[in-house]
Amino acid sequence: MSKLKAQIEKAIQGQRALIYVLCSEETRILPILEQLSSGRSCNFETWSCFNGLSKTGKPDETKDPSAAVKAIIDGGKKGIYAFQDLAEYIEQSEVKRALREFNYSKTGGIDQFLFIISPELILPESLREDVHLITVLPPDDDEIAAEFSRIRAAYPNSKIPEEFNTEIMLALKGLSISGIDSILHRIFKNDRTEREVIFNEIFDEKESIVKKTGYLEFIPPRELLGNVGGLGNLKDWLIKREKVFTKEAVDAGISPPKGLLVMGVSGCGKSLAVKTVSSLWKLPLFRLDMNLIFSGLYGNPEATFHKALQTLNAVAPVILWIDEIENALGLEEAGGLSISSHIFSSFLTWMQEKPPLIFIAATANKIQALPAEIIRKGRFDQVFFVDLPDEQERREIFTIYLKKYSDNIAQFDLKMLSIMTNGWNGAEIAQIVAAARTDAHYEKRLFTQGDITANINITVPLSTTMEQQIKAIRNWALSRATPASSNARILRF
Ligand SMILES: Nc1ncnc2c1ncn2[C@@H]1O[C@H](COP(=O)(O)OP(=O)(O)OP(=O)(O)O)[C@@H](O)[C@H]1O
Ligand SMILES: [Mg+2]
């Protein structure tokens, strides 16, 4: 039995005549109510403001909600009555009275149950005590599996590999049944067998749900791990956990990692590394825009923050990216803004009890602003420190960008380029390769080593102007975090 059916059954057994079901999908609730009434051999009726009661009285006479409730009381017929639009009328005094009368008429034992199905909770104070409330969560694994089998059976000749079944079901978590239906029909109708195409279809739907919030941004899975130069330890960590969010791993009792904190020097690939997790783990990635939350545009920042976490919970499994966590959680002004410190403490509590299928990827620059509580073991599974790339890593980064813009990478002296860029970060390397290519393109010729060295000579890297800050970051981080680079050693320049 699905969790939802069990929830409704329990409410009926609890002998409350008025049951409020908070749910936006009537089509999920009505069949369950119908099944439960046939199991109890009693009447099942629906009511809507458009059709009135489906069986009792004449439709035109029962369109009025209080008249409909009265007709049920007078009819005295044992049954389950599902009211679809009642919440819209519930604040009218006649409707409130009708519902209270319905409730009081049951003192001799309850054999009539009135269900109010609504996506919004509109419950007048005078009815609060009388109503049993059911909050419907998104479809659980059993409901998703049942829907999946039903739709898959409708496409017996589908070429979509069976081995995708469990992963597709896991990815569908968080969507409504109607959302799941439309995606699955699209997937099976198209009958495309590529993994990417199938999963992108599901991610698109999740994106559209989350987009409605305004402060959660979907980051498309475009960056591949191969686009990151260096950061070997970080990459290994991610590769080893590639399968932990699959259903098999969850079923095998492997607890998924909670999160990752990547901190360090600016422009060295922290954000880039986070973006690759999505394509590597095949999970949607959402960035939480804390500036928008703090702006108050969406109401009280604390409440909005909670709402964001709830929305993500509903579409899990997902990766939540909090960029510049020190600013995002207001840590810079420690002891300053009370709202942000509230958000910070509720974030820490939430991290502790966080739903297992949300993975947090946090990035930080001003790492000295990070309090011990956030770095403490157990909060994040791993804290990585990203330093300036060493010679070999700079060579890898050059290779990535040169391959992007040139068919003839052999013409470049990579060793020389990486020696010339001692103390440069990845962003600076990416930028000069792009600038060199633009210069050559302007002169309508292929770009060469000379274009790159010319650009190197006119660029002052960040590490020159911020030498002291970078040294301070390094000293602070090396005792607190694992180096992201597998060539870990202290760089001197
Ligand atoms: N290790 C790297 N490999 C490949 N490209 C890199 C690397 N580091 C930086 N880049 C390039 O520089 C750009 C900026 O890097 P990114 O935004 O990831 O840096 P960051 O560490 O998050 O910096 P900040 O602290 O300023 O946010 C990337 O989009 C990428 O083009
Ligand atoms: Mg960044």
The verdict on residue 480 lying in a domain is no
Same domain, 167 and 265: no
Q: Residue 490: pLDDT band by 50, 70, 90 thresholds?
A: very low
Mutation to probe ligand 1, out of 227, 228, 271, 459 (largest number of atoms < 8 A from CB): 271
Q: Which of 135, 157, 183 is the last residue of a domain?
A: 135
Q: Which atom of ligand 1 is nearest to the CA of 231?
A: 1
- Distance between Cα 289 and ligand 2 center (Å): 13
pLDDT higher than threshold 80 for residue 309: yes
Q: Please tell me the predicted confidence (pLDDT) of residue 98.
A: 96
- Distance between Cα 271 and ligand 2 center (Å): 4
Helix (H) or strand (E) holding 385: strand 382-386
Beta carbon of 426 within 6 Å of any ligand 1 atom: yes
The verdict on residue 264 lying in a domain is yes
Count of domains for the chain: 4
- Angstrom distance (rounded) from CA 79 to CA 382: 56
The verdict on residue 485 lying in a domain is no
- Distance between Cα 399 and ligand 1 center (Å): 15
Q: What is the dihedral of CA 321, 327, 332, 338, to 10 degrees?
A: -100
The verdict on residue 474 lying in a domain is no
Same domain, 236 and 275: yes
Q: Bigger pLDDT: 255 or 83?
A: 83
Residue nearest to atom 19 of ligand 1 (CA): 267
Beta carbon of 402 within 6 Å of any ligand 1 atom: no
Beta carbon of 230 within 6 Å of any ligand 1 atom: yes
The verdict on residue 177 lying in a domain is yes
Window from 98-112, 182-196, 248-262, 478-492 with minimum mean pLDDT: 478-492
Q: Residue 338: pLDDT band by 50, 70, 90 thresholds?
A: very low
The verdict on residue 317 lying in a domain is yes
Same domain, 12 and 28: yes
Mutation to probe ligand 1, out of 224, 227, 265, 268 (largest number of atoms < 8 A from CB): 268
Q: Bigger pLDDT: 389 or 480?
A: 389
Q: Please tell me the predicted confidence (pLDDT) of residue 356.
A: 81
Cβ neighbours around 336 below 10 Å, total: 11
Beta carbon of 259 within 6 Å of any ligand 1 atom: no
Q: What is the dihedral of CA 462, 463, 467, 470, to 10 degrees?
A: 100
Q: Bigger pLDDT: 215 or 72?
A: 72
Q: Which atom of ligand 1 is nearest to the CA of 227?
A: 4
pLDDT higher than threshold 90 for residue 393: yes
Find the domain containing 298 and state its range. Answer: 219-386
Quick one: which of 54, 51, 41 has its CA closest to 81? 54
Beta carbon of 268 within 6 Å of any ligand 1 atom: yes
Do the Cβ atoms of 82 and 117 come closer than 8 Å? yes
Beta carbon of 229 within 6 Å of any ligand 1 atom: yes
State the sign of the Cα–Cα–Cα–Cα dihedral 481, 487, 489, 493: negative
Mean pLDDT of the chain: 87
Assign residue 395 the CATH number of its domain: 1.10.8
Cβ neighbours around 432 below 10 Å, total: 24
Q: Please tell me the predicted confidence (pLDDT) of residue 330.
A: 66
Same domain, 234 and 370: yes
Same domain, 349 and 255: yes
CA–CA–CA angle 408, 412, 416 (5° rounding): 165
Q: Please tell me the predicted confidence (pLDDT) of residue 205.
A: 82
Question: What percentage of residues in the chain have a pLDDT greater than 90?
Answer: 49
Q: Please tell me the predicted confidence (pLDDT) of residue 317.
A: 84
Q: What is this structure's pTM?
A: 0.70
Same domain, 127 and 179: no
Same domain, 67 and 31: yes
Q: Please tell me the predicted confidence (pLDDT) of residue 340.
A: 62
Tell me the two tokens of residue 224.
Answer: 């591949």
Strand ranges inside 62-147, DSSP E: 79-83, 112-118, 131-135
Q: Please tell me the predicted confidence (pLDDT) of residue 248.
A: 74
Do the Cβ atoms of 176 and 138 come closer than 8 Å? yes
Query: Could you please report the per-residue DSSP string of 71-90?
Result: HHHHH---EEEEESSGGGTT
Tell me the two tokens of residue 116.
Answer: 């109010």
Q: Which of 135, 158, 187 is the last residue of a domain?
A: 135
Omega prior to 65 cis, within 30 of 0 = no
Same domain, 109 and 163: no
Tell me the two tokens of residue 471.
Answer: 């040294």
Q: Which of 363, 386, 409 is the last residue of a domain?
A: 386
Q: Which of 64-68, 122-126, 172-176 has the highest mean pLDDT?
A: 64-68
The verdict on residue 339 lying in a domain is yes
User: Region 324-352: what's the mean pLDDT?
Assistant: 69
Residue nearest to atom 29 of ligand 1 (CA): 272
User: Region 126-149: what's the mean pLDDT?
Assistant: 87
pLDDT higher than threshold 70 for residue 314: yes
User: Region 55-61: what's the mean pLDDT?
Assistant: 86
Give the contacts of 273 (CB within 8 A, at least 6 positions apart).
228, 231, 234, 235, 238, 262, 386, 484
Same domain, 335 and 361: yes
Same domain, 57 and 91: yes
pLDDT higher than threshold 60 for residue 284: yes
Beta carbon of 466 within 6 Å of any ligand 1 atom: no
The verdict on residue 300 lying in a domain is yes
Beta carbon of 272 within 6 Å of any ligand 1 atom: yes
Tell me the two tokens of residue 196.
Answer: 């990417």
Tell me the two tokens of residue 177.
Answer: 């049944």
User: Region 304-324: what's the mean pLDDT?
Assistant: 85
SS3 sequence of 347-369: HHHHHHHCCCCEEEEEEECCHHH
Assign residue 97 the CATH number of its domain: 3.40.50.300
Give the contacts of 418 (CB within 8 A, at least 6 positions apart).
391, 392, 394, 395, 398
SS3 content of the chain, % helix, strand, coil (to 5): 50, 15, 35
Cα separations in angstroms, 417 against 267, 393, 433, 456: 18, 12, 11, 9
- Distance between Cα 486 and ligand 1 center (Å): 17
Same domain, 371 and 223: yes
Do the Cβ atoms of 393 and 409 come closer than 8 Å? no
- Maximum Cα–Cα distance across the chain: 94
- Angstrom distance (rounded) from CA 265 to CA 364: 9
Same domain, 31 and 122: yes
Strand ranges inside 130-204, DSSP E: 131-135
φ, ψ for residue 390, nearest 5 deg: -85, -175
